[in-house]
Amino acid sequence: MTSMASPYLSPSSTSPHIHFTTTMSTLRFHLLPSFHALRAVFLVAMLSQLLFSSCTTDVPSTYVEVKDLPSVYPDYIGVTVPVNIAPLHFHIDHDSTATDFVTRLSAGNEAYAIAGDNVRPGLKKWRKLLTAALAAEGKISAEVFIKKNDKWQRHQPFTITVSKDSIDPYISYRLISPSYVTYEDLTLNQRCLENFDESLIYGNMINSDEANGQCINCHHAQWYNPNRIQFHVRQYLGGTVIAYDGKVQKVDLKTDSTISAGVYPTWHPRKPWIVYSTNNTGQSFHTRDVQKIEVQDTKSNLIFYDLEHNTVTPITRDTTDFDCFPFWSPDGKYVYYVSAHWERRDSVQMDFELIKNYKQVQYNLYRIPFNEQTLSFGPRELIYDAVARNRSVTLPRVSPDGRWLMFTEGKFGVFHIWHNDADLFLLDLAQAEPVEPTPVVFYSSHNLPASVHPENANNVRREELADSLLEAQGLRTPLPAHIRNITELNSHDVESYHSWSSNGCWVIFSSRRDDGNFTRPFIAHHDGNGHFSRPFELPQDNPLYHRQFMRSYNIPEFLSGPVTIRPQEFAAVIKKDANKAQLKIK
């Protein structure tokens, strides 16, 4: 729907123009045989470039008003950004009839017009816009004009809210193709959120060759500190790399009494202690489902690692409980984690049994108290009985103020990045009390009564039927009042790994909402009361970058600054033998 607008006074009369760079279509010169000549040509070229580029772009004064918002990628419409964020570059999606584009970004007294379908305000101008927005009503307005059939159209403007709450300047993440078994070229990266600088923390190819592949994973910093980080190297030259205040070492956390070396880590907020899960993990492949992979543990427990003494102490050892994804509370008093209970049913191998029954493996949220004096853990407490709701939780993460616990919930399993029903939930720890597990007999797509089992229903439909049947029979407990689905963050697709900023004002999480396959980091503002703003995708210099990029972002976590140890230094340490951790049984 369009409507004619009255002649419009150019905003240039009230706002300054932005100068924009145009690429010269042609620049002809003869290759001259002397350096002087070459220099002359270069100078002429530069001058010409300056001449050409000094033309300005005007916001169209006559246009047709369009009632729709523009279609922009990434979708930054109505998002809230921190005051120190990098420019939000975006692309205007359009059809082939669109021939020209102008976008006017304004805040307070600052306004810039940008030509082209890639809207890329420069860093300085963006900073001015952010400052101006904070000084005014806290909004940056974006008006998009698109020229079609020689007539300009103006879409409804949208706003970007600027929050005075700053965000940690860096994030770290692993870049990995959403692959299945193979890996090549894996990198742990860090990115400055205040600009577009991205650098490598460590890349596996520096220590890999055809015969000796290396996987790297599970990077984690102690309380946002880039000088205290750890990550794992698997297979060739394997071990856990720990950098602690300038000292880098590789340790071997596997002991005879533990399932594996350390896997999913959580640092104590202050002390040189790390709790890990130890896991036996396998994966199998969906033949039809677009979720494609199911990653399952056949065993998992928790261990405590004392970095100072290089000792490993098992925390949980029950083979019928799969304990995973520990997270230390900011006060250091509890370790939150998820656990599924599974007792052998068949005589077949455990992994085959679990593959067969993969939808019945569901995880609850637990915590165990920790005594800093004795370095001992107390009995576990059930915090959220997700299984009673025919659900499975993973990745508990507590906010820095200790009030909120965010987790991911899906129907089954623990590796929710491959579950497109996975959503983020928030639990108010101020109201949380340990609960008793509810014995449940629930239906799934496998055991639905024949009367309600429509033959042709697909998997999703059968799951829905199971849920509604449970609800109808009162067998599925409602969501507790202190837990809520963070609908403002969730999408139709996967939301998974998440972490809080150090001031608790921001969360970053993984989502596959863009295309269902490639994970992208999204950031959202937290108001301190358990509510979030509309999330925005990690800004990139080239707004179409994520549409072209063939890798996923894994485990995005905030850092208070950059990791300064160079990849080559990590590589040198990794080449050395690992320090074998000693088992310490209490």
Q: Which residues bind other proteins (CB under 8 A)?
A: 33, 177-185, 187, 200, 203, 205-211, 284-290, 292, 294, 355-356, 358, 459, 514-518, 542, 545, 547-550, 566-568, 571
Shortest separation between residue 187's beta carbon and other proteins, angstroms: 7
Q: Can you tell me the distance from the alpha carbon of 412 to that of 427, in angstroms, rounded to the nearest whole number?
A: 19
CA 508 to mean position of chain CA atoms: 5
Name which of 223 and 236 has its Cβ closer to other proteins.
236
CA–CA distances in Å: residue 585 to residues 136, 256, 321, 417, 545:
61, 12, 20, 34, 50
Shortest separation between residue 330's beta carbon and other proteins, angstroms: 34
Shortest separation between residue 287's beta carbon and other proteins, angstroms: 5
Q: What is the secondary structure of 389-434 as a DSSP string?
A: GT-EEEEEEE-TTSSEEEEEEESS-S-GGG-TT-EEEEEEGGG---
Q: Can you tell me the distance from the alpha carbon of 464 to that of 478, in angstroms, rounded to the nearest whole number?
A: 16
Shortest separation between residue 567's beta carbon and other proteins, angstroms: 4
What is the Rg, in whole angstroms, of the alpha carbon atoms belonging to the chain?
27
In the chain, the amino acid numbered 28 is R
Name which of 205 and 435 has its Cβ closer to other proteins.
205
Name which of 550 and 585 has its Cβ closer to other proteins.
550
Name which of 359 and 498 has its Cβ closer to other proteins.
359
Name which of 461 and 586 has its Cβ closer to other proteins.
461
Q: Can you tell me the distance from the alpha carbon of 242 to that of 584, in angstroms, rounded to the nearest whole number?
A: 20
CB atoms within 10 A of CB 339: 23
Q: Can you tell me the distance from the alpha carbon of 114 to that of 129, in angstroms, rounded to the nearest whole number?
A: 13
Those residues with Cβ within 8 angstroms of residue 564's Cβ, 6 or more apart along the chain or in another chain: 226, 227
Name which of 42 and 285 has its Cβ closer to other proteins.
285
Decide: helix, strand or coil at residue 48. helix
Q: Can you tell me the distance from the alpha carbon of 362 to that of 118, in angstroms, rounded to the nearest whole number?
A: 45
Phi-psi map region of 141: left, alpha, beta (phi>0 left; psi -120 to 50 alpha)? beta
Shortest separation between residue 271's beta carbon and other proteins, angstroms: 32
Edge-to-edge strand list for the sheet holding 506-511:
495-500, 506-511, 520-525, 536-537
Name which of 25 and 529 has its Cβ closer to other proteins.
25
Shortest separation between residue 458's beta carbon and other proteins, angstroms: 8
Name which of 270 and 575 has its Cβ closer to other proteins.
575
Shortest separation between residue 183's beta carbon and other proteins, angstroms: 6
Shortest separation between residue 202's beta carbon and other proteins, angstroms: 8
